[in-house]
């Protein structure tokens, strides 16, 4: 779980360096929308996105499975 936090911290550090190199203060950096911050910068958000991906995957798999079974039953 610490990996996602480290990615967010490294991203923030890199963003500060880019802003400083561009002549802007880090306090002038555009802030991420709170919803996106929850989804991408916190482990709970990553679990939510993973769960959503799993639900979509199950839906596609079931659709394909039923379609395949219907083809098999139609041929025999």
> What local confidence, expressed as pLDDT, does residue 33 receive?
78
> What local confidence, expressed as pLDDT, does residue 69 receive?
92
Spell 42-68 as b/e; 16+ CB within 10 A means b: eeebbeeeeeeeeeeeeeeeeeeeeee
Q: What is the pLDDT of residues 5-46, one digit of tens each?
A: 555 556 666 666 666 665 656 555 567 777 888 888 888 888
Q: What is the rounded distance in angstroms from the CA atom of residue 48 to the CA atom of residue 56?
A: 12
What sections of the chain are H helices per DSSP?
2-21, 34-41, 43-75
Contacts of 13 (CB under 8 A, 6+ apart): none
> What local confidence, expressed as pLDDT, does residue 54 receive?
96
pTM: 0.51
């Amino acid at each position: 779980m610490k990996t996602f936090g480290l990615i967010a911290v490294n991203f923030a550090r890199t963003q500060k360096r880019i802003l400083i190199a561009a002549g802007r203060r880090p306090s002038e950096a555009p802030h991420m929308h709170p919803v996106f911050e929850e989804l991408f910068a916190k482990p709970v958000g990553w679990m939510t996105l993973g769960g959503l991906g799993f639900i979509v995957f199950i839906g596609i798999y079931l659709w394909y499975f039923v379609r395949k079974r219907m083809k098999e039953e139609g041929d025999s």
